[in-house]
């Protein structure tokens, strides 16, 4: 049986690791805002529109580039690791809008009908600011759980790690956004193994591939790896700028 998004939930992929998720309550969650400098983002999708909550997995520019401006323009709340919070405040983002958190922690957002958990990820996370690089805290992923219990997992930039099994055990995401580009993150082979660890996940959205030539992993390779492993997990392949809704 094919995977269906919950009624009222929509997902837009802007290319790379940037997603906008609109919940059944109409709340809009933007993850890893990289739009203005993203060669995959269509010209008519550079502005994500209204945003209620921004999540940032780590400080690399291809995940944080547009966060300060979008946060200031939209007035959105943010949930980020403290080092990224400090960077955002240095760029003029209202500190009262920023919820500090760290890996293992969960923040409820009752006004949005959801809660956010920050999970582990293995990567690097320096923040480029002009000709300087600042410590951006440790990279992370996020699990967002809606009030009806539906949960999705954005892995951020990460290699494969076996404790993904604990993410499934504790938070039970049904949908996962996984990097497959290789070189800087998991490739398709590792992502397919991640799906086995994420035993509750019924569908995967591949991300962090194709943006630049050096990111060589493909959704087709992921599908082949999953089929070879006997997995029935569905792969939802988005085109940059595409929206799908339940």
- pTM (2 d.p.): 0.98
Q: Is residue 4 part of a domain?
A: no
Banded pLDDT at 2 (limits 50, 70, 90): confident
Q: What tokens appear for 152 in the block?
A: 């999705």
Residue 172 has a pLDDT of 98
Q: Is residue 5 part of a domain?
A: no
Among residues of the chain, what percentage have pLDDT more than 90?
Answer: 99
Q: Is residue 70 part of a domain?
A: yes
Q: Determine the Cα–Cα distance for residues 90 and 245; give it in Å rounded to an integer.
A: 36
Over residues 65-110, the pLDDT tens digits come to 999 999 999 999 999 999 999 999 999 999 999 999 999 999 999 9
Q: Is residue 196 part of a domain?
A: yes
Q: Is residue 36 part of a domain?
A: yes
Does 118 score more than 60 pLDDT? yes
Q: Is residue 164 part of a domain?
A: yes
Q: Which domain holds residue 68?
A: 10-245
Q: How many domains does one find in the chain?
A: 1
Residue 204 has a pLDDT of 98
Does 124 score more than 60 pLDDT? yes
Q: Is residue 1 part of a domain?
A: no
Strand ordering across the sheet containing 19-22: 98-100, 77-80, 53-55, 28-31, 19-22, 10-13, 243-245
Over residues 7-58, the pLDDT tens digits come to 999 999 999 999 999 999 999 999 999 999 999 999 999 999 999 999 999 9
CATH of the domain at 224: 3.60.15.10
Residue 1 has a pLDDT of 53
């Amino acid at each position: 049986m094919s995977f269906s998004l919950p009624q009222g939930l929509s997902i837009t992929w802007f290319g790379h690791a940037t997603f906008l998720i609109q919940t059944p309550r109409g709340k809009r969650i933007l993850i890893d805002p990289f739009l203005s400098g993203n060669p995959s983002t269509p010209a008519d999708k550079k502005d994500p529109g209204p945003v209620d909550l921004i999540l940032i997995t780590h400080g690399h520019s291809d995940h944080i580039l547009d966060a300060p401006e979008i946060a200031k323009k939209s007035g959105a709340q943010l949930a980020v690791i403290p080092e990224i919070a400090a960077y955002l405040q240095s760029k003029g983002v209202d500190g009262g809008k920023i919820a500090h958190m760290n890996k293992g922690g969960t923040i409820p957002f009752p006004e949005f009908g959801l809660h956010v958990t920050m999970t582990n990820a293995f990567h690097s996370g320096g923040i480029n600011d002009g000709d300087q690089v600042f410590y951006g805290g440790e990279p992370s992923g996020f699990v967002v759980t809606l009030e009806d219990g539906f949960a999705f997992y954005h892995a951020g930039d990460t290699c494969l790690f076996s404790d993904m099994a604990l993410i499934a055990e504790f938070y039970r995401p049904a949908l996962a956004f996984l990097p497959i580009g290789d070189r800087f993150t998991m490739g398709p082979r590792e992502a397919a193994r991640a799906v086995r660890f994420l035993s509750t996940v019924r569908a995967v959205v591949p991300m962090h591939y194709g943006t630049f030539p050096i990111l060589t992993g493909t959704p087709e390779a992921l599908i082949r790896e999953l089929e070879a492993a006997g997995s029935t997990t569905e792969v939802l392949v988005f085109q940059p700028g595409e929206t799908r809704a339940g």
